[in-house]
Amino acid sequence: MELTANGKEQVMLLQTQVAEEVLARAVSTGADFGEIFLEDQTGQNIILRSGKIETVSSGRTHGAGIRIFTGTRAIYVYTNDTSREGLLACAEKAAAAVNRGTGCRPEPFRVTHAERPEEIAELPTEVAAGRKAEKLREADRAARAYSDEIAQVQIRYLDRVQDVLICNTEGVFVTDRRVYTRMSVNAVATDGKENQSGSMSPGGLMGFEAFEKRIDPETCGREAARQAVTMLHAPVCPAGVFPVVIDNGFGGVIFHEACGHSLEATSVAYGISEFSGRLGEMIAAPCVTAIDDGTIANEWGSTHVDDEGMPTGKLTLIDHGRLVNYMIDKMGSRRMKMPPTGSGRRQSYAWAPTSRMRNTYIAAGEDDEAAMIAEMKEGLYAKYMGGGSVNPATGEFNFAVNEGYWVKDGKIVHPVRGASLIGRGSDVIMKIDRVGRDCRQAQGMCGSVSGSIPVNVGQPMIRVSSLTVGGR
């Protein structure tokens, strides 16, 4: 049978009869669940350096992963060979890991296409690379025009069109198309002895129309250059424990690291997370409400169905300080005996899915942004954050401040470079004592056990009453 997904785009990755046959083979030795994830992805990367288009590389990712469960044991087998024979061989390998007699009886498929709230106006695969390259040149010109101290500008453009088919022995048979477009600008400022860098990386679950709706190459170039030049003239951040005001947008990385990862079934289901078994408790300050939302049209971390075929949703994680939900995938659901939340995600067919974040943010509060800085005696204002990481077992997290300012007696006195922020998640979310009104989101790539996936982080401006600031 032929599947037609949302109008003109046709996705026909696998026939239902073949899928049935493969699933039946996969569970034939006693598995109680079987799943096929089949993917065909085309993408293009363009790199501009020293003002020239240096590399254009196109790539096609293609393969399938077959997963079976016996109770809480998961078996995953993947291959590039998605022919009937290839998939059957793959199913055979999975089945060989189980020996429990006969398996579950697959339910008949309910064939569906994922509902997609966004319209893709220009599919990147249908846009000439020359038009994409022009956007990189615009950003490059803007960055170089900012200052003579800009020594290098490196710009990456990427797009992906990922067609997937997910089917399982519970009758799920769903197709989906995910279209991503992103640009990253990295500017380097130098005085001959020292280098500093600045970066901007906006993107969306969008086609090439992202350059009309969201990504302004000129602004990106200028902002990255401004950051680099500002940091070149900034003294090193002092070290110690201080109050910290973290701006909106990518500032949300604090919640992502300090708390988000520790609310994923990946660690909660094993009782490892510092938030395991704490549902219903006040784990954060009452001004903190945190949400993981996969439904926002065009957002970088949004999903239509998750990579286990479940429709996406909007999930309140923390409601005014109280822990109300975890992010749960299918296996996590078995271990935790709680329903899944549409949170199963993976980088590609080469990774078994697990619970992951989507667009995760601290919701808008009521505090005045200007007052947060004005009331601070001495501390750090973190305007742009870099990435971070966390050990969910201990809750220890860290993240970098890409552009920071030192505050004294309620006033910004000068920029500071090289700052990082560290702490323990459960302490820090209790110490958030101000939450501003203007919530914004920003794009990042999140790496964890099921690979690197697009997510948004977000928040309004917040204040943490005390935090360890790494500097020298």
Partner 1 sequence: MKIQEFMDRLLRAAGENGIDPAEIYYTDEDSFSAKAMDTEIDSYEVSASCSLSIRGSVNGKMGYASTEAFDEEALEYLIRAVRESAALNEAEEQDEIFAGDECYPEIAAEEDDLDGVTAEEKLRMALTAEKAAREADPCIKQSEGAEIQTSAHRAVLRNTHGLKLENAQKLYVAYALPIAKDGDATATGFKLEYGRKLRELDPVRLGREAAADAVSQLHAEPVASGEYRTIIRHDAMQSLLSTFAGIFSAENAQQKMSLLAGREGEEIASPLVSITDDPLRKGGLATAAFDGEGSATFTKAVVEKGVLKTLLHNRRTAKKQGVKTTGNARRAGGMHVAPTNFYLEPGEKTLEDMERDMGDGLLITDVSGLHAGANPISGDFSLLAKGFVIRGGRQEEPVERITVAGNFYQLLKSIRAVGCDLEFPGSSIGSPSVDAGVMAISGK
> Is 446 one of the binding residues for partner 1 (CB under 8 A)?
no
* Binding piece for partner 1, criterion CB under 8 A, among 99-107, 128-136, 202-210, 214-222: 128-136
418: left (phi over 0), alpha (psi -120 to 50) or beta: left
User: Could you tell me which of 309, 314, 348 has the C-alpha nearest to residue 329?
Assistant: 309
Indicate if the alpha-carbon torsion angle 371, 375, 377, 382 is positive or negative.
Answer: negative
Contact between 472 and partner 1 per CB under 8 A: yes
* Residues forming beta bridges with residue 452, ordered by sequence position: 447
Interface with partner 1, residue 78, by CB under 8 A: yes
Site for partner 1 in 99-118 (CB under 8 A): none
C-beta of 212: minimal distance to partner 1 in Å?
22
Q: Total binding residues for partner 1 by CB under 8 A?
A: 83
Q: Which of 4, 59, 368, 437 binds partner 1 (CB under 8 A)?
A: 59
57 binds partner 1 (CB under 8 A): yes
Smallest distance, partner 1 to C-beta of residue 334, A: 12
- Nearest approach in angstroms of CB 94 to partner 1 is 8
- What's the rounded Cα separation, in Å, for the pair 28 and 97? 11
Residue 154 or 302 having the CB closest to partner 1: 154
Using CB under 8 A, pick the residue from 91, 94, 210, 225 that binds partner 1: 94
The minimum distance between CB 62 and partner 1, in angstroms, equals 4
Please tell me whether residue 28 binds partner 1 under the rule CB under 8 A: no
Could you tell me if 407 and 381 are in contact, meaning their C-beta atoms sit under 8 angstroms apart?
yes
Give me the count of residues in the chain: 472
Our separate counts of H helices and E strands in the chain read 10, 23
**Angstrom distances, CA of residue 19 to CA of 37, 67, 82, 263:** 10, 13, 11, 34
User: Shortest Cβ distance from residue 305 to partner 1 (Å)?
Assistant: 23
Asked if 337 touches partner 1 (CB under 8 A), the answer is no
Nearer to partner 1, 391 or 465 (CB): 391
Residue range at the interface with partner 1 (CB under 8 A); choices 27-35, 45-53, 107-115, 321-329: 45-53
Nearest CB to partner 1, comparing residues 295 and 450: 450
Residue from 52, 101, 108, 280 binding partner 1 (CB under 8 A): 52
Q: Which stretch, 11-19, 74-82, 208-216, 292-300, contacts partner 1 (CB under 8 A)?
A: 74-82
Q: Which of 268, 273, 252 is nearest to 326 (CA)?
A: 268
Nearest distance from residue 192's CB to partner 1, in Å? 9
Binding partner 1 (rule: CB under 8 A), the pick from 10, 17, 81, 117 is 81
Among 417, 434, 440, 463, contact with partner 1 (rule: CB under 8 A): 417
Which of 77, 114, 174, 259 forms a contact with partner 1 (CB under 8 A)? 77
**CA 365 and chain centroid, separation:** 24
Nearer to partner 1, 62 or 320 (CB): 62
**DSSP 8-state assignment for residue 208:** T
From 16, 219, 316, 398, residue interacting with partner 1 (rule: CB under 8 A): 398
Q: Which of residues 11, 167, 172, 352 is near partner 1 by CB under 8 A?
A: 352
The span of 239-247, 308-316, 357-365, 432-440 binding partner 1 (CB under 8 A) equals 239-247
Q: Which member of 240, 281, 374, 412 binds partner 1 (CB under 8 A)?
A: 240
Distance CA 276, CA 267 (A): 8
Q: Give residue 272's region: left, alpha or beta (phi > 0; psi -120 to 50).
A: alpha
Phi-psi region of 98 (alpha: psi -120 to 50; beta: other; left: phi over 0): beta
Residues 6+ apart with CB under 8 A from 119: none
Residue 452 lies near partner 1 (rule: CB under 8 A):
no
| Cβ proximity of 283 and 321 under 8 Å | yes
At position 367, the amino acid (one-letter code) is D
Nearer to partner 1, 154 or 230 (CB): 154
Distance CA 367, CA 304 (A): 34
Least distance in Å: CB of 351 to partner 1?
A: 9
User: Among candidates 194, 191, 189, 213, which has minimal Cα distance to 202?
Assistant: 213
Structure tokens at 127: 């846009």
Pairwise CA distance, residues 374 & 365, whole Å: 18
Whose CA is closest to 215, among 251, 177, 185?
185
Stretch that binds partner 1, among 2-10, 53-61, 294-302, 368-376 (CB under 8 A): 53-61
Per CB under 8 A, contacts with partner 1 among 142-201 are 151-152, 154, 188, 190, 193-197
- Stretch touching partner 1 by CB under 8 A, among 41-49, 281-289, 321-329, 366-374: 41-49
Dist. CA 399–CA 224, nearest whole Å: 19
- Whether residue 142 contacts residue 217, with contact meaning beta carbons closer than 8 Å, is answered with yes
Beta strands in 169-296 (DSSP E): 172-190, 195-200, 203-204, 240-246, 290-293
Among residues 420, 441, 448, 450, which is the contact residue for partner 1, using CB under 8 A?
Answer: 420
